[in-house]
Amino acid sequence: MTEETIYDNLTLLGGANTVPASPEEAVLERVPNPHPDTSYVVRFTAPEFTSLCPITGQPDFAHLVIDYVPDQWLVESKSLKLFFTSFRNHGDFHEACTVGIGKRLNETLSPKWLRIGGYWYPRGGIPIDIFYQTGEVPEGTWIPEQGVAGYRGRG
């Protein structure tokens, strides 16, 4: 398979795009894993993730950390950024956003393993942290700590 054929299905990379109106409308694109025979970790960190409270409409802020061990596919990073951005005008609770992102990535990529940590900034003085994981870590795979401090300004 030629490189040109491998990337023919990408619609977002290399051009101007508009932000999807909702996470449901967002397209998550994937590319072939160049090392499917090797267990390694891919990490995405989004320290400025935002969504809206479904009741008040006020913004909620989170530091997301996504780790996954790819099988056949990798998520294309521009599509992931646009997917994250689609939450800026989306009203949902912290749990729905965090777990929904994890499930959507799992559905798109079918990784060997995936986890997401959603470290949400305080609401009413209480930070809410949400964690989702698929199965056990593949044997022999090094998974670093997510490195997000317990709340004291998250910094």
**Residue 76 carries which side chain, given as an amino acid letter?**
E
Is 71 marked active-site? no
Q: Is residue 154 part of a domain?
A: no
Does 54 reside within a domain?
A: yes
* Total count of domains within the chain: 1
Asked if residue 1 has pLDDT above 60, the reply is no
The yes-or-no answer on residue 53 being catalytic is yes
The whole-number pLDDT of residue 3 equals 56
**Active-site hit among 8, 37, 53, 92:** 53
**Looking at the domain assignment, is residue 139 inside a domain?**
no
**153 part of a folded domain:** no
- Give the domain range for residue 61: 37-134
Q: Residue 48's domain is classified under what CATH number?
A: 3.30.1130.10
In-domain check, residue 145: no
Task: Work out the mean pLDDT of the chain and round it to a whole number.
Answer: 90
Q: Which residue has the higher pLDDT, 149 or 98?
A: 98
Q: Is the pLDDT of residue 155 over 70?
A: no
8, 60, 67, 97: the active-site residue:
60
Residue 49 lies in a domain: yes
